[in-house]
Chains A and B, each alone.
Chain A
Amino acid sequence: MNSSSEIQNHKLSSELDLDLDFEFDQPCGKLRLRDLLDISPTLTEASGAIIDDSFTRCFKSNPPEPWNWNVYLFPLWCLGVVIRYLFLFPARVLILTFGWIIFLSSYIPVHFLLKGHDKLRKKFERYLVELICSFFVASWTGVVKYHGPRPSRRPKQVFVANHTSMIDFIVLEQMTAFAVIMQKHPGWVGLLQSTILESVGCIWFNRTEVKDREILTKKLRDHVQGTENNPLLIFPEGTCVNNNYTVMFKKGGAFELDCTVCPIAIKYNKIFVDAFWNSRKQSFTKHLLRLMTSWAVVCDVWYLEPQNIKPGETAIEFAERVRDIISVRAGLKKVPWDGLLKYTRPSPKHRELKQQRFSESILRRLEEK
């Protein structure tokens, strides 16, 4: 049995975690058989979850409504497919290849020749990374509108943004060379991560390694203090969400570093393509190919007002406040779920809270006459 203060803590964090308890009137009065047998609220909650739940909704990719079913529109759609696959796609591949050639032929010499002159080398490398990202964005005909003051290079600040796909990073990187904290990926993405992204100063972690967290927090702290480092970008949701919702921001990392948090909101316009990367359904390569065979990727990026932790505010409250700011700006709905639940089961403390409430209510009513 927990002590009463632990129960209080339990209640606070799980109320912040999720506010989904069934709203029924506190039962009172003498306990009868029907009160014990009537499990309908619990059953209703369970079936409600089976039929529709707010967590799964966050990761649903919305397929576009097919509009090519009409005899007039169908040839138009076919023409569109031809243009996209036979003209746009090869042109884009060419642009991207061209970009890579320029990038590699500049990056490799700069990296080796300027070994001694770190400051100059970093400056060039930063510029080149911004350049290759612009080429990437061009290869999807990205139309990105940036609002607000561009990020400045100052120590003791960290940038946070909502996360829809890995291309979030590219979209932001083409404007400012951020250092980013990322999950290490396999394949060609991993290769890119360990070579080029090293130069802008990236920090790696492994989602499944919990012990990593302390080392990680230290790395983040060090990075943020340094004046020479690129501004740090963190995606506090921890996973890709479908750009209609935001999941809980993890307080660890961005919000416990004792520095200013600058929120960035990203909203993709689904009119031409849905930019959500459903990592359970598609590899990143397929995702990129889909973007390259669509008409355009349209999005808005808002650089919002920097926030500091208010006196008396906990890290969790701070994280939620920033999430609120981002969600409101980008028109996203907030759900009280931890993004990690995509990969793990919920901890037993939620079920235990329900069991506790039930038990307390029964035992209390037993005393009533």
Chain B
Amino acid sequence: MGSASSVLTQYDIEEVQEHCSNLFSQQEIVSLYQRFCQLDRNAKGFISADEFLSVPEFAMNPLSQRLLKMVDGLNFKDFVAFLSAFSGKATTQQKIEFIFKVYDSDNNGKVSFNDILEVLRDLSGSFMSDEQREKVLRQVLQEAGYSKESYLMLDDFIKVLSRSGLKMEVEVPVD
């Protein structure tokens, strides 16, 4: 499935489904393909950052730049795999893994105090000062039994987030 043609064969669909661990139904994959082709204006086989940002709802999101780094230039198969964390069939663990990846921008398997601070900066913008952000983070970390020097691993994320009933689901419109 190199360059984007407008028609998916049954083989293509099954290949994509396998790649996303069966988290999307075949119909959903077809819908996602239509969406992919719609965003990929000149059929290059991937969606550029500019094309993502032409969706105003996405461009306005505080975490858009961070997500853009993860999704920019992906081919369709990887695009679907990226979105699979938002499927209704995804487990809480898979969702937490996704959140961990968003924090772990340098992909070294651990999230530092600064990594969390960076995300907090994206979310709060100019409405919180750096001191306020550090103070907040230090306080909640301490309460949870961590310190400023701690590195959080995936297991720590799972421990902290499992109880909160994570709601992270997007419905794929199927014609």
A residues sitting closer than 8 Å to B (CB atoms) are 1, 20, 24, 31-56, 60, 280, 337, 341, 345-346, 350-352, 354-356, 358-360, 362-363, 366
Whether the Cβ atoms of A44 and B57 lie closer than 8 Å is no
- Which residues of B17-56 are within 8 A (CB) of A? 32, 35, 38-39, 41, 52-53, 55-56
Interface on chain A toward B: helix, strand, loop, or mixed SS? helix
| Closest partner residue, chain B, to A20 (CB atom) | B57
Provide the residues of chain A in CB contact with B41, threshold 8 Å: 280
Whether the Cβ atoms of B71 and A50 lie closer than 8 Å is yes
From B35, B98, B132, B161, give the contact of A51 (CB < 8 A): B35
B2 beta carbon closer than 8 Å to chain A:
no
Q: How large is the interface on B (under 10, 10 to 19, 20 to 34, 35 or more residues)?
A: 35 or more
In Å, the complex CA distance between A52 and B172 comes to 8
B77 beta carbon closer than 8 Å to chain A:
no
Whether the Cβ atoms of B62 and A48 lie closer than 8 Å is no
Q: Given A45-B61, A280-B41, 18 other A-B contacts at CB below 8 A? A: A33-B143, A34-B160, A37-B157, A39-B63, A41-B167, A43-B102, A44-B170, A45-B57, A46-B64, A48-B170, A50-B58, A56-B39, A56-B55, A346-B59, A352-B126, A352-B127, A355-B125, A358-B62
Provide the residues of chain A in CB contact with B58, threshold 8 Å: 46, 49-50, 53
Provide the residues of chain B in CB contact with A52, threshold 8 Å: 35, 172-173
- Which residues of B101-134 are within 8 A (CB) of A? 102-103, 116, 119-120, 123-128, 132
Provide the residues of chain A in CB contact with B126, threshold 8 Å: 1, 352, 355
Nearest CB on A from B174, distance (A) = 11
Given contacts A39-B99, A51-B170, A355-B127, contact A34 B63 (CB under 8 A): no
From B62, B136, B161, B167, give the contact of A42 (CB < 8 A): B62
Whether the Cβ atoms of B172 and A51 lie closer than 8 Å is yes
Given contacts A33-B143, A356-B125, contact A47 B86 (CB under 8 A): yes
From B56, B64, B119, give the contact of A55 (CB < 8 A): B56
B residues sitting closer than 8 Å to A (CB atoms) are 32, 35, 38-39, 41, 52-53, 55-64, 67, 71, 83, 86, 95, 98-99, 102-103, 116, 119-120, 123-128, 132, 136-137, 139-141, 143-144, 146, 157, 160-161, 163-164, 166-170, 172-173
Whether the Cβ atoms of A55 and B168 lie closer than 8 Å is no
From A39, A47, A280, give the contact of B170 (CB < 8 A): A47
Provide the residues of chain B in CB contact with A34, threshold 8 Å: 160-161, 163-164
Whether the Cβ atoms of A33 and B140 lie closer than 8 Å is yes
Given contacts A36-B116, A51-B83, contact A351 B144 (CB under 8 A): no
Whether the Cβ atoms of A363 and B128 lie closer than 8 Å is yes
Whether the Cβ atoms of A50 and B55 lie closer than 8 Å is yes
In Å, the complex CA distance between A238 and B140 comes to 49
From B98, B140, B163, give the contact of A36 (CB < 8 A): B140
Whether the Cβ atoms of A359 and B127 lie closer than 8 Å is yes
In Å, the complex CA distance between A350 and B61 comes to 8
Nearest CB on A from B98, distance (A) = 7
| Closest partner residue, chain A, to B164 (CB atom) | A34
From B53, B116, B128, B170, give the contact of A37 (CB < 8 A): B116
Nearest CB on B from A34, distance (A) = 5
Whether the Cβ atoms of A40 and B116 lie closer than 8 Å is no
Given contacts A44-B168, A356-B127, A362-B128, contact A32 B173 (CB under 8 A): no
Provide the residues of chain B in CB contact with A33, threshold 8 Å: 140-141, 143-144, 146, 160
| Closest partner residue, chain B, to A358 (CB atom) | B123
In Å, the complex CA distance between A200 and B95 comes to 61
Report which residue of B137, B157, B170 has the largest number of chain A beta carbons within 10 angstroms of its beta carbon.
B170
Nearest CB on A from B42, distance (A) = 11
Whether the Cβ atoms of B136 and A366 lie closer than 8 Å is yes
In Å, the complex CA distance between A179 and B56 comes to 33
Whether the Cβ atoms of A42 and B63 lie closer than 8 Å is yes
Provide the residues of chain A in CB contact with B141, threshold 8 Å: 33
| Closest partner residue, chain A, to B160 (CB atom) | A34
Provide the residues of chain B in CB contact with A53, threshold 8 Å: 55-58
Provide the residues of chain B in CB contact with A337, threshold 8 Å: 56
Nearest CB on B from A27, distance (A) = 11
Provide the residues of chain A in CB contact with B123, threshold 8 Å: 39, 42, 355, 358
Whether the Cβ atoms of B124 and A345 lie closer than 8 Å is no
Given contacts A36-B140, A46-B64, A366-B139, contact A55 B57 (CB under 8 A): yes
Whether the Cβ atoms of B140 and A351 lie closer than 8 Å is no
| Closest partner residue, chain B, to A355 (CB atom) | B125
Nearest CB on B from A357, distance (A) = 9
